[in-house]
Chains A and B, each alone.
Chain A
Amino acid sequence: MELVVALGLIVLKVAFLIAILLLLPLPLTWLERKIAGHIQQRMGPMRVGWHGLLQPVADGIKLLTKEDHIPAEADRFLFKLAPILALTPPFVVFVAIPFGESISVLGADITLHVSNTNVALLFVFAVIGIEVYGVIFGGWAANSKYAVLGSLRTCAQMISYEIPMGFAVIGVVMLAQSMSLLDIVRAQTDVWNIVYQPVGFFVFFVAGLAEAQRIPFDLSEAEGDLGAGFHTEYSGIRFAFFMVSEYAIVLLVSVLVVILFFGGWNGVLIPLPPLLWFVLKVAFFVYVFIWFRFTFPRYRYDQLMAIGWKVLLPLSMANIIITGVLLGAVAAP
């Protein structure tokens, strides 16, 4: 009986997560366009619904009903597989992410995380790594020169920034002495990691931008010179999957930044409910993502690679060494 309840709870949580992640792009696209509009001194979408509020819904319907076009020379199986492969990892990652300790619903304590493994951080990186396959298959299968080039570049970019990203969190692990995200947040009850790990945060955030292929690192889909990168040939609902996946990654990076460096659901000064703190912080970073998009120019590709390898990587390694020294200094009597 207990088992059935536990399983049911898991199913519920998973369903809830899927729902959120699928629906979140709707407000996010609207927000993005609105914010873009206001930053650029215009109104953004205004036609569909009040202040264009229904614009994302209209977009969704359009994508749903658009012709599903597959190029003649394409590898049809991989072409169809790629969007699913791109969509799944960001969703799966959320299984391991805690949103808070627990809340009380109808008298029962329900933990705000689906699964708390002690290797959550490794899990996150492992699953996010699979994202590359969606990209590379998508570009390759279309058999279009722009798509291939775009996918190669995207792939190169993603794996390049994965390394500094991974190195950047090691400082956090050293502080928390755990790879469990829950433990990491708990370790920040008093002082947020950002205090000890500013460099780590910087590296992680920049790498996160690149991982999500957001401006200033959105070379892969640089409309100007590559069509639209690896998903040039996609249309309709399959294209939508890629878009959803991108937003999920934006969200994921924001969540990770909050958990790893900004104390998760630990609040300061204002005693808000932990979950709210968490949502607010995440919202802030999502906003930063959007804000950056319309503020920074795009980097050149060689600059992009140079930043990843020649700046972020050495920085993150130095960060590890320095953190070690600091830890030793603190631990020493």
Chain B
Amino acid sequence: MSDWICNDHTDGIDLKPEKGLPKSRRGGPIYRFATRSVGNRCSDMTAMEFLPVLFMIAGVVLVVGVTLFVSSLLRPSNPYPAKNMPYECGMDAAGEAAAGRFRVPFFILAILLVVFDVEAMFLFPWAVVLKEIGLVGYIEMFIFMVLLLVGFAYAWLKGALEWET
């Protein structure tokens, strides 16, 4: 099984307190936490895995910066009011571009995304350990999906998915 949870908890699905709970290790006041560090028993996510991400971001920014700099040396700069007007088929632009452009369907879409994306979040860990939790786990997630589908069906019936142009 993948160790998306902790390595020393391979029975990660069982929620029974006697297994999940650390025995008689009371935390004590917060300042006492300072003496201990996180992750000393879990060895997966190390800095080596996410350092490259930083490097990559730095690299991209560097390249972009250099390119922009080079470009600024080469390109002409000759702005005048007409050129600086927004592109609008020759018409003069009037008012804020965003004004009145806000339509509810976009918003509904955003909400749907939030809901479904978050549900996907539950599905991923479940998918990883499905073989271990077996039928019971499957049934539970099935119920979850059914509820999700009810919501989906509701949205459909309600016309939230209709996009009139």
Contacts and interface: CB of A to CB of B under 8 A. Distances in A.
Interface residues of A, number: 85
A10 B51 contact: yes
Interface string B97-114: 110010000100110110
A163 B116 contact: yes
Contact of A324 (B67, B76, B130, B163): B130
Given A149-B101, A179-B128, A310-B156, A64 B67 contact: yes
Contacts of A173: 124, 127-128
B39 to A, nearest CB: 14
B159 to A, nearest CB: 12
Nearest to A80: B68
B70 interface: yes
A269 B98 CA distance: 57
Interface stretch (B8-16, B20-28, B57-65): B57-65
A68 to B, nearest CB: 6
Contacts of B55: 10-11, 14
A331 B87 CA distance: 61
Interface string A186-200: 000000000000000
Contacts of A6: 48
Interface string A97-117: 000000000000000001111
Contact of B75 (A65, A142, A314): A65
B19 interface: no
Contact of A160 (B68, B113, B156): B113
A143 interface: yes
A84 interface: yes
A12 to B, nearest CB: 10
Contact of A95 (B56, B76, B127): B56
A237 B113 contact: no
A68 B77 contact: yes
Contacts, number: 216
Contacts of B44: 118
B52 A114 contact: yes
Interface stretch (A28-36, A85-93, A209-217, A258-266): A85-93
A232 B88 CA distance: 10
Contacts of B123: 167, 170, 320
A156 B63 contact: no
A91 B145 contact: no
B113 to A, nearest CB: 4
The contact size tier of chain B is 35 or more
B154 to A, nearest CB: 13
A156 B142 contact: no
B35 interface: no
Interface stretch (A44-52, A277-285, A301-309): A301-309
A113 B95 CA distance: 50
A99 to B, nearest CB: 14
A162 B110 CA distance: 12
Given A14-B59, A143-B98, A236-B71, 16 more contacts: A10-B51, A64-B74, A68-B72, A84-B60, A88-B57, A144-B86, A144-B97, A162-B117, A170-B124, A179-B2, A179-B124, A183-B2, A236-B75, A306-B163, A310-B161, A321-B145
Interface of B: 1-4, 44-45, 48-53, 55-57, 59-61, 63-64, 67-68, 70-72, 74-79, 81, 83-88, 93, 96-98, 101, 106, 109-110, 112-113, 116-117, 120, 123-124, 127-131, 134-135, 138, 141-142, 145, 148-149, 152, 156, 161-165
26 contacts: A10-B48, A14-B55, A67-B76, A67-B77, A68-B77, A69-B83, A70-B79, A71-B84, A84-B60, A87-B60, A88-B61, A94-B56, A95-B52, A115-B50, A118-B3, A118-B44, A119-B4, A142-B86, A142-B97, A144-B87, A152-B101, A166-B120, A170-B124, A174-B127, A236-B71, A331-B131
